[in-house]
Amino acid sequence: MIFALLLFWGVSAEPVLRVDVPSPTADKPQSKLWFAQGSWWAWLPVKGGSSVWRRGATGWSREAELDGALRGLPGQADVWADAASACAVLVEERRLAVACLEWAGTGYRPRGKPVEIGMTGEGKLETATITRDAKGEWWIGYGWGREMFVRRSGDGWAVAVKVSETLASADDICAVVAVSGGVGMIWSDQAVDVVWFRWHGKEWGKVEAIERGGKTADDHIRAAVGADGRLHVVMKNSRDAVGEPQLVMRVRDKAGRWRNRHFAPRTKEYEPSRPLVLLGGRPEREFVVHSRYARTGPAPRGSQIVSGEGVLLEAARPLNDVTGTKALLPPGQPWIVLASDKDGNVYEGRLDAGVP
């Protein structure tokens, strides 16, 4: 595996599309981009629902024929897609929905009716993620009431299975991902300063600590799986001090062994945050993209999106919440990410510039 550091100094950007809600590429564990049928697609929130966008030869355009099917659903989406379909878990504070699209020759059409999941008891949903395992079953993972849960399509989405065994902090989140013949759940636990993992094959295994102590836990999680089956999870830690590394790459091999690599130190000028990991190329490369918050200097600099130590995206408004695809980056196609500002503007960055 090659850890790719791409340098794009001084790249300024104009928005490629705009929606009517702030920060549409949020939140931290979610993937809103996918590549299928020769095009990049994005699933983004709008007032009163969500929307699907297609990147064509002349730029991004909204697939307005899907608006009716998505109206009234939660807007904050995490997407899993292949060549024939795309499914998203959609999130509001007390409601989840699972909506699927299928390819219909020239575009997508709804596949069945969305499944809505109402939450009961005390709690608030911050985010949720979705994956599909090797058997074709869908899973969603989310935090509720300081505990981590999964639901799966084989149960009709009706059964909430608690994966965690202790109470995390109210700020912690999780991510579910298909790995090694099953699924795994990763979550942060700032209450005891541990990052946890639990794997499900035929049944749930033991909860295992990926890393503990040293302020290793924070609620930023993004995951990707390589062609070799290794799981890559990039996170932020809580070592919020100048000179301390802020980000951690956690890699799980097929035998279940974890390796943690801390990187991206905080400086007097900048604070790394909200990282994303993407995999692609031959040989396969690991790309880390993250926000970099400016702590000194002119206010308009705000925050940037960087890859390695180079600026990937910079605009007049502060940028945040970079998002990408769950799948391997497509060969022979542009490798893109999206980020947004608080006015609903969405910006596009290219990762493949300068990559052999």
pLDDT-derived band of residue 167, with 50, 70 and 90 as boundaries? very high
User: How does strand 285-294 pair with strand 2-4?
Assistant: parallel
Where are the chain's structural domains? Answer: 1-25+262-356
pLDDT for position 354: 52
Is the predicted pLDDT of residue 350 greater than 50, yes or no? yes
Q: What percent of the chain has pLDDT over 70?
A: 93
pLDDT digits (tens, 9 = 90+) for 30-52: 999 999 999 999 999 999 999 99
Q: Which of the four pLDDT bands, split at 50, 70 and 90, describes residue 11?
A: low
Please give the helix or strand (H or E) that residue 69 lies within, else none.
helix 67-70
pLDDT of 2 strictly over 90: no
Distance of alpha carbon 251 from alpha carbon 211, whole angstroms: 12
- In angstroms, rounded to a whole number, what is the distance separating the alpha carbons of residues 62 and 21? 15
Residue-level pLDDT at 355: 56
DSSP annotation of 164 reads -
Q: pLDDT value at position 5? A: 35
Is 3 a residue whose pLDDT tops 60?
A: no
Q: Which residues of 126-162 are buried (b: 16+ CB within 10 A; e: fewer)?
A: bbbbbbbbeeeebbbbbbbebbbbbbbbeeebeebee
Could you tell me which residue, 315 or 110, shows the higher pLDDT? 110
What mean pLDDT do residues 263-292 have?
94
**pLDDT, mean of residues 169-178:** 97
Q: Is 340 exposed, middle or buried (0-12, 13-18, 19+ CB in 10 A)?
A: buried
Q: pLDDT by residue (tens digit) across 99-150?
A: 999 999 999 999 999 999 999 998 899 999 999 999 999 999 999 999 999 9
Position 180 confidence tier, pLDDT thresholds 50, 70, 90: confident
Mean residue pLDDT of the chain comes to 92
Prediction pTM value = 0.94
Give the CA radius of gyration of the chain. 19
Q: Does residue 7 have a pLDDT over 90?
A: no
pLDDT at 284: 94
Q: Say if residue 279's pLDDT is above 70.
A: yes
d(CA 308, CA 67): 37
pLDDT for the residue 302 = 61
| 60-92: pLDDT as tens digits | 999 999 999 999 999 999 999 999 999 999 999
The pLDDT of 256-285, averaged and rounded, is: 95
